[in-house]
Structure 1
């Protein structure tokens, strides 16, 4: 894939800047930002602070700053969008602790952005996986007779159920017969398409966004096995 194509793709950095434009375009971009990341920011704050009331206050403070254009100058050269969010949230947590004159600051990694952050990795991993699944559902909705999202969701909800049973379940849901072998092949294609969409989901969160950068991010998030499955054609 050509890098020139990627340079023109919308990323979270460009979405932040667009969210602070006047008019309908800015409103749409702001709505997308909140819809995409509200749950992730909320879960992360609860993991780091472990005080639901304080976490709620910090969450409100964060989105107030976003809505009041405090993040309009986000610099895409900072690299990974999750690192940028982490820095902003850490500062807010520390500010709230100091304002309340609490005796001790939270986890040590809040004071050192160079330290690994398993909490953020876990939350971010679930965020991009969920985002890719939404992309697959959109792909199915826009592709006549496509059942990728339905088949993959059926397997995810029933990881130990025999293929024969899943095929029968799908046939009952759709009113169209499907053999176990056809279900298996559709599932294989659905998984491959899902990983492709996951790559595009992650590509929006980093800069630069070459294939090598995206693959490195996938491994950092513990998603390397999905990439290997796509590259080797393993079902």
Structure 2
């Protein structure tokens, strides 16, 4: 297990709050809020009040998961755009990628298998997606089903598998409202990294990569050398999961 230190330096936290929260996050949110449609304004305003944004920034990992869960349940469009796998966490598939790929549709018996498997998967998945009001996912996966060929059903089963594994981005397939796609603009990670990256990694005391638990990644800060933690294993991670 990789251990990191808790940041308890009051002076640093005050500087961070002033620069990242007061001068960047809050003004950006006010500007962003003007783009939200009337249907969602009240929810967005309640979820991302100044107090909530501060809590979101400074809370611990368990609290962060609870906050994200609350946001996604109240505004499912954000989950569909940024994290569609959220809707598949508790959905169990009764097939694997290999199972689907091995079904040669030139054989009539495999056509029957695909049709039956698609119908079963669709009926079970729709219960979950409707419960969470995941309208874009429903539209992408199941709209105009009567026109879907067996080959297309096979592809949709593979798409569902990719959603479950977190390797499929609905945002690349469907058009979302601007206020949804623009939500990430209120978080200036580059500012945080540039202004506080070295301080944060020094405070945390990260010497070994938390992801692979193998490669040493010390923070080096001297007149001639500046190096923050980086690990080759991070190359395959989404940007949002990489060390700053």
Place the TM-score, normalised by the shorter chain, in its bin. Answer: under 0.3
| TM-score using structure 2 length | 0.25
The answer to which structure has the higher helix fraction is: 1
Larger Rg: 2
TM-score between the two structures when normalised by the length of structure 1: 0.26
